[in-house]
Amino acid sequence: MEALFKAHWEPAHRAAFLIVHDAAAAEDIAQEAFLAAIRALDRFDRRRPFGPWLHRIVVNRAIDWSRARALRREVGEAIGDQPAPPDQPAGWSDETIDALACLDPDQRAAVVLRHLLEYTPGEIARLLDVPRGTVNSRLRRALDRLARELEA
C-alpha cells in the first residue's frame, strides 16, 4: 500500500486540486479516493492498472464537489456571501488558474484527464462513462475557452 500511495497520491491530489481549486477539498477528495480504493481492494482486478481506477474516483468526486459548490455559491451570492478566492498553487500563473475557473467542472475534468494525466479521449470516455463524442466536445470547448482567455 505504501508503494501504491507514493506512486499515485501526488497526481491524484493535483488532479483534484485543478478541478476543484480548493486545497482542503482537494485533500479530502484525494484521501477519500484512496479510502474507497482500500475498501474495494478485494474486488479490484489486479491485472488492471491501479491508476485509472483511482483517477476515476478522484475525478468523479471532484466534479460532484464542484457542482455542489457552484450551487452553494449561487445561494450564497443570493444572500450576500462572497465565495472564497481559489487557493493559489505554487508555480502557477494567475491567468491560467483564472481561465480554468471559467470552465464548468466537466470541462475542467476533461482538460485535467487529457493534459495532466494524459489519457486519450477514448480512455477518458470510459473513465467518465460518457460517449467519446461528449469528451471530444468538452475538450474542444474547454480549449477554445482557455485559448480565448489566455491569448487575448
Partner 1 sequence: MSTRFERRLRRELHAARPPRAADAERRAWHVVRAAHAARAPARSQRRGRQLLVAIATAVVLAALALSPAGAKVGDWIGDVVDPAPEATRGSLAALPAAGRLLVVADGGAWIVRDGGRRQLGSFTDATWSPGGLHVAGARGRDLVAVDPEGVEHWTLVAGGPVSVPRWSPDGFRVAYRSGSELWVTTGDNKDRWRLARHSAPTPPAWKPLAAPASQVLAFAVGGRVRIVDVDTGRVLGQTPPGPVARDLWWGKGGRLVTATARSVRIHGPHGHLLRTISLRSTASVMAPGGKRLALISRRGRSSSLVVLDLDGSTRSLLSTRGELEGLTWSIDGTVIVTGLPAADQWLFVRVRGGIEGVRHIRRVFRGGHEPLRGGFPRPAGWCWAEPDNRTAGGGPPCSPGSAP
Q: Which x/- pattern, by CB under 8 A, does the window 120-139 give for partner 1?
A: --------------------
Which three cell numbers, joined as nine digits, stand for 2? Answer: 505504501
Residue 146, Cα to own-chain centre: how many angstroms? 16
Q: Is 74 in the site for partner 1 (CB under 8 A)?
A: no
52, 53, 104, 116: residue in contact with partner 1 (rule CB under 8 A): 116
Contacts of 120 (CB under 8 A, 6+ apart): 114
DSSP string covering 26-62, please?
A: HHHHHHHHHHHHHHTGGGS-TTS-HHHHHHHHHHHHH
Which three cell numbers, joined as nine digits, stand for 109? Answer: 475534468
Q: Is 87 in the site for partner 1 (CB under 8 A)?
A: yes
Q: How many residues bind partner 1 (CB under 8 A)?
A: 40
> Which parts of this chain interact with partner 1 (CB under 8 A)?
1-3, 5-6, 9-10, 13-14, 17-18, 23, 26-27, 30-31, 34-35, 38-39, 41, 87-93, 96, 111-112, 115-116, 140, 143-144, 146-147, 150-151
